[in-house]
């Protein structure tokens, strides 16, 4: 039979081990450096970053990443103001860089768009879009550039349609359903949901004349100079996610189902389309 002092010692040691483990976990948590990353739409374009969060790749690099949804026009400005460290929005951010914003893309996640040009059921061809309204996220954003490129490739001058800025993907989908606009350029999973409901895909990625990257990782020039180690850690986390997606269909599909609240068949198709568009190493191949 154990003596009271022995029991006390066991309790003391058990408590000591527990407190030690708690302290180590707390200290590890305190070592994480918080980074904020903006994205413009809940769609396949953000899968890389959601997988990195779900699988703990940011934490492996001692980063506590927070994903924040923002209007495409605001992502680059938020990086400039120091409100966030990174933005994944490509088209609008690139336009800002061309106009002089001191930002740089340090990686490309989605090297080419997976958008489809989706019209209301009564519109069967590209020519039927003449005089109709195109709903876009923001004026001159990636989805507008994609839609106009597809129209040109099919023989329709984009000036033949009226462009209406509506906002996020779910808003554009509802506007199409309600007849507020007649056509939108939409990527996974919304394109597949609409097609299942009888809406028409008038054009797709195969009709694009040029590769239009959809998402990347942009950072302010000053942060790139001042904290290169931070940028490298973020890049490593993102590239781990790229490799994981290519090698793990089942788990990636599960994450897509959870992130986008989609059934297995649509999530599985979203994964297949992601593989076609995703960069393997954060670069755009010369072939594109």
Under 8 Å between Cβ of 129 and 156: yes
DSSP track, 185-206: EE-TTHHHHHHHTT-EEEE-GG
Residue 27: the pLDDT is 42
Q: How far apart are CA 283 and CA 215, in angstroms?
A: 11
Residue 18: the pLDDT is 40
Residue 216: the pLDDT is 93
Length of the chain counted residue by residue = 288
pLDDT tens track, the chain, 288 positions: 444 444 344 334 343 444 444 444 444 445 889 999 999 888 888 999 999 999 999 999 999 999 999 988 899 999 999 999 999 999 889 989 999 999 999 999 988 888 899 999 999 999 999 999 999 988 888 899 999 999 999 999 999 999 999 988 889 999 999 999 999 999 888 888 899 999 999 999 888 887 778 899 999 999 999 999 999 999 999 999 999 999 999 999 999 999 888 889 989 988 998 888 888 877 765 555
Residue 284: the pLDDT is 66
Residue 30: the pLDDT is 57
* Among candidate residues 169, 150, 161, the one with its CA nearest the CA of residue 261: 169
The residues near 135 (Cβ < 8 Å, ≥ 6 apart) are 164, 166, 172, 175, 176, 180, 181, 183, 184
Q: Tell me: the pLDDT tens digits for 199-213?
A: 999 999 888 887 778
Residue 285: the pLDDT is 59
Q: Tell me: the pLDDT tens digits for 90-145?
A: 988 998 999 999 999 999 998 888 889 999 999 999 999 999 999 998 888 889 99
| Both tokens assigned to 13 | 């040691």
Q: How far apart are CA 114 and CA 283, in angstroms?
A: 17
Q: How far apart are CA 76 and CA 102, in angstroms?
A: 10
| CA distance to 71, 84, 157, 253, 283, per residue, from 218 (Å) | 15, 11, 32, 26, 13
Residue 103: the pLDDT is 96
Residue 141: the pLDDT is 84
Which domains does the chain possess?
A: 28-112+213-277 (3.40.190.10), 116-207 (3.40.190.10)
Residue 287: the pLDDT is 54
């Amino acid at each position: 039979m154990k003596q009271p002092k022995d029991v006390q010692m066991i309790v003391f040691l058990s408590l000591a081990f527990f407190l030690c483990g708690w302290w180590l976990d707390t200290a590890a948590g305190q070592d994480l450096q918080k980074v904020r990353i903006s994205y413009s739409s809940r769609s396949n374009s953000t899968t890389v970053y959601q997988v990195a969060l779900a699988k703990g790749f940011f934490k492996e690099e001692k980063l506590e990443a927070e994903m924040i949804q923002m209007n495409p026009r605001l992502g680059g400005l938020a990086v400039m103001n120091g409100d966030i460290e990174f933005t994944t929005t490509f088209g609008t951010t690139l336009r800002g860089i061309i106009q002089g914003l001191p930002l740089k893309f340090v990686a490309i996640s989605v090297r080419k768009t997976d958008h489809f040009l989706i019209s209301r059921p009564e519109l069967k061809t590209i020519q039927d879009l003449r005089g109709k309204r195109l709903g876009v996220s923001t004026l001159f954003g990636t989805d507008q550039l994609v839609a106009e490129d597809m129209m040109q490739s099919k023989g329709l001058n984009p000036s033949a349609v009226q462009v209406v800025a509506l906002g996020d993907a779910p808003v554009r989908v509802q506007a199409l359903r309600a007849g507020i606009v007649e056509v939108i350029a939409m990527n996974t999973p919304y394109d597949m949901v609409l097609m299942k409901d009888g809406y028409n895909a008038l054009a797709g990625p195969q009709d694009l004349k040029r590769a239009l990257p959809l998402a990347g990782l942009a950072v302010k020039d000053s942060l790139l100079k001042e904290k290169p180690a931070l940028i490298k850690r973020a890049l490593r986390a993102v590239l781990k996610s790229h490799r994981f997606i290519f090698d793990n269909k089942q788990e990636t599909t599960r994450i897509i189902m959870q992130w986008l609240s989609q059934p297995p068949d649509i999530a599985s198709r979203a994964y297949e389309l992601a593989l076609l568009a995703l960069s393997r190493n954060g670069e755009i191949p010369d072939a594109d």
